[in-house]
Every structure is written in C-alpha cells, then in structure tokens.
Amino acid sequence: MSKAVTMNVGNDGIAVLSLDVQGKPMNVITPELQQDLRECVEKVVSDEAIIGAVVTSAKNDFMAGADLKSMSPLMAGLGAAELAKIIGGPDSIKTVYREMEICGKPFAAAINGTALGGGLELALACHYRVAADRQDAVLGLPEVQVGLLPGAGGTQRLPRMIGCQAALELMTQGRHIKPAQAKAMGIVDALASQEELIDTAKAWIKDKGDPVQPWDKKGFKIPGGLDANRIGTIQTFLIANALVAKNTNHNYPAPISIVSCVYEGCQVPIDTGLRIETNYFAELLAGPVAGNMIRTLFVNKKSADKLRARPEGFAKTKVTTLGMLGAGMMGSGITLVSARSGMNVVLLDSTEELAVKGKQYTEKFLEKRVKKGKMTTEAAAEVLDRITVTTDFNDLASCDLIIEAVFEDREIKADVTQKTEAVIPEETIFASNTSTLPITGLAESSSRPNSFIGMHFFSPVERMPLVEIILGKETSDQALAVALDYVQQIRKTPIVVNDSRGFFTSRVFSTACNEANTMLMEGVSPALIENAARHAGYPVGPLAVQDETSIELGYKIHLQT
C-alpha cells in the first residue's frame, strides 16, 4: 500500500519527508497522512544519524487543509465536548504537529506551491519555512469561509509569529496571500526557485538548525505585545470585533471565535492556547452553521465544479470564439471573463459606439490590474486584442457559442435571435442571459429550440462566481454539455435549473424583495426593514438592492414576465 508520507535520508544526514496523499489531486489531511507523518517524525527523532528533516510535497502544490468530506461523520451526533477529545487527542494531527515542533531536531518546510489551512499550519509548526517564488501559489488560513477556524494550531502560532493584528486580518477574512507577501509579513523566512527549494531548506538545517520555536523559549513576547492594559492591544481587539460585526452582523460564529481564540490563547503558554483553540473549534464543528457551509460552499460546490450534471456521451468542447450580443453591463462583463480565459470574443451591439464602450470596460479593468502590479502591460494588451467589436451579424458566423445579453424585452431578444441564427451554423448553441424570462418562451422565436438554452450570469460578472444554466422544454443534452463546458472554461460554478419565471436565484430573492415592498406599503419603517435583513444575513437589504438595480427596471421585467 502506498504511503501518504515517504521519507528518504541523504548522505548529509537530512531526511526529506514528501507528502503524497494517494487518490487526491492535492494533499489533504487524512488518517493515513496523520499516521505516516507521526511515524516519520518518530524515525527522525530516534535515528541519531539524522540531524534534521525537510517537509515538502511530491505534488504540484504543498498541502490544503482537512478532507472536509471526512469531517461529516465527525459532525454527526457528537457534541462539542466529545469532538474536543478527538480533535485534541493523542492521535490528532494537532498533536502530531506539536510533537514535531518540540522533538528536539530541526524541521524545515519547503513549501513548493499552494499551502492552505492545515497545510500552512504544518509549515508554521516547522522551525523554518522557505517558499517557492511562484506567482500561481497562495498561502492562507481560509477556514472561516466554511464556518470554522484554523484548528491545527494556526490561531496560536500565526499571531505569535507576526502579531495579533496582522494574524486576525488574515484569519477572520480567510485571505490568500502570495509567497512574496508571506515573506514580507514574516510568515515564511525565505523565497527560492523551485529548483533550489530543498537545498535552501537543507542549508538552513546545516547552518543554523535551531530546533526550538521562539514561543517555546524563555522570555518570548508576542510581536507588538499583548498586555491587556495596553492601548494598542485594546484597539486591536476592539477594531477586530467591530469589523466582524460590520461584515457579518454576528450571523457567523467563526470570525468572532477566531478573535476570542487569539485573545485568550495568546495570554497563556502555547500548549494551553492550543487547548483553547481546540475547544472553540469543537464548538463550531458541533454547531449547524459550519455543517451547512461545508455542505453548500465546499462539498456541493466541488460537485458542481466537476460538472456532475453534465450529460454523458458528449465529447468535451472548448470555446475558442464567443459571440457576445449586447455590450451593456452584463455583456461587457461576460466579454471580460471570456477574453481573460483565452477566448476570442466578437462583441456586437446596435452601434459601434456602444460596442466600443463595452470593450472599454475590459480595458479599464485590465488597467487597474496593471497599476496594482497584478498583470503586465503585455498580458493586458494580449487579452484586449482578443476582443473584436462589430455591428454586423455576419461577423458571428465563425463563433463556437453565442450568448445574448440584450435588454429584458421579448421582442428585442427575438429579433437578435433570428438575425444571429441566419448566419451561424445549425449546430452552434445559442444561450440567453436573462434573469427572469422563461427560456421556453424565448425559444419560440428560435428555429432550433433544441440548441437554445438559458445562461444567467450575475453582476458584476468578473466577481460573481455563480452561473445558472436553465433548460427550456426542448433544450438538448448537447446544448447543456456545451454550456457546462463553457462555464467551467471561465472558471465559474454552474447550477442547472428547470425553466420557470425567475428560475431559482431571482425567484427566491424576488420573494424577499416583494415581502419588503409589502411591509413598506403597510407602513413599516424602511430602516427597520433594511436592518432586519442585515441581521438575518443579507449583505445588502432588499430595498437597497432594488434602488441599485433600478425600480423601473424591475417593473419592466415584471411586465415582460
């Protein structure tokens, strides 16, 4: 049976531990990894010929966190007290990390790619960290995004390393940072090329090789201090609490648990702090919020991203040229994400001025990325060159997929549908980006309703990760397969829904808006309605949403449906 962690000892007396969890594209914490890592640590400690160890990955990236699917049985029927015994028990990954940390021999983490959650926590437990200087790699503790906190020592080691304020910002927001940022913040000690990564880690072991963490040394003080009477400490945690309240209205327990965990745990020795972390983690794991978030935002999302709804028997398609009808807000956004994904885009509108304006949306977006240093001028120009503006429907003839995003008016949509179908091949799929109009009704204007499908994007397209794919009465499996392949190509999450007024998202949210309008007509204060919605978890109140999207637009859509 293959090992999740293998160990090779060189002539220099340094062991290289390679993480390679079988059957997973990325390393995650599994029972096999826990057991193998413990055995490797014990061998390093017991073998006098070994002077230290480097922990790295045999995969393209270093390691992610826990296998969230395997956590589901843990959450079933167990209370916080029982969970705490498991999470902080002698066989837990947290205990393995601590045993490695205090074993008396130096461990260096050679972070060859992305390190998230428990993967970064493993690196934090090592005595030295060198990261590959890769632009596509990120580091972070994103557990808050699934209703949890870093439960393998992250809430205790990170603030002891970089200070409470910086650590809280990363953990309460679940932010990802690049290796260079991690180096600047003091999370990693050095950057190296992929080729020099292991040698750099080994050089540290030979040169310094200090096997004791700063927080395990006598007289250690947290960077920035944590005196409960200091003004700076009071401000740090007051601001952290205020930001959590502003961003979540206390609907999510994880961010405030992180703040409490850091405050309480950093005032005591680290072993006590780790126990405090365990108790807070167990409380979150036993509660309903984490379970719901893991199921919806991770397990179900992963399933959707893998296109589990894709019909079998159809070859994978790749869109090389997209035809985009309409250069308004939605059309411009779809053009942007498609061009950034490597597609050529033919952007059509009724006038050249409108089409050019739509292309300028992409240009402005790219300029901002260049100014922030996130993109080179050459790369931005390459993306922009993929977009061709036109007013001539004949320019759509060579497109692999057509997406229509004109105004929510049946007659206008019918007109552009018929003009497009007159020039494109019979097999080309035609998708309508509509938020409310039933697809079966729109397909009545099409001469090929089997190739007609709904594709509902959300605004702003470049930021919103979800796309609704709507099946009309006659939509074929071929059309569905192509639509799903395209959504995956632009790296968004598709959900497939049946045809009805408002589909799924608009139908659900419009119910909240209609109720808010009814309350308003009944004399309820607008402020009370908006505040109640915020406290219920809505990021924006239903009245504000209608103001932002235009009440007139909502009324016109109502007439059309």
CA separation, residue 516 to residues 205, 247, 401, 435, 507 (Å):
64, 22, 39, 20, 14
| Rounded-to-integer distance, Cα 471 and Cα 434, Å | 12
CA separation, residue 210 to residues 17, 207, 218 (Å):
18, 9, 15
Query: Who contacts 372 (Cβ-Cβ below 8 Å, separation ≥6)?
Result: none
Q: Evaluate the omega torsion of the peptide bond into residue 542 and state whether it is cis, within 30 degrees of 0.
A: no
CA separation, residue 280 to residues 74, 81, 249, 286 (Å):
15, 10, 19, 10
Cβ distance 448 to 474 under 8 Å?
no
* Main-chain dihedrals φ then ψ at residue 185, nearest 5 degrees: -80, -15
* Closest to 529 in 3D by CA, of 539, 542, 538, 546: 542
* Closest to 343 in 3D by CA, of 417, 407, 403: 403
Asked if 456 is an active-site residue, the reply is yes
Q: Which of 127, 250, 456, 535 is catalytic?
A: 456
Give the torsion through C-alpha atoms of 177, 181, 185, 186, to 10 deg: 100
118-125 vs 93-101: helix axis angle to the nearest 10?
Answer: 20
From start to end of 294-386, where are the E strands? Answer: 321-325, 344-348
* Closest to 345 in 3D by CA, of 353, 354, 356, 334: 334
Residue 434: CB atoms within 10 Å: 27
- Tell me the sheet residues that pair with 455: 469
Residue 174: CB atoms within 10 Å: 19
3-state SS assignment for residue 552: helix
| Rounded-to-integer distance, Cα 471 and Cα 443, Å | 11
| Rounded-to-integer distance, Cα 274 and Cα 268, Å | 10
| Rounded-to-integer distance, Cα 326 and Cα 329, Å | 9
Angle, vertex CA 422, rays to CA 421 and CA 428, nearest 5? 35
Enzyme catalytic residues: 456
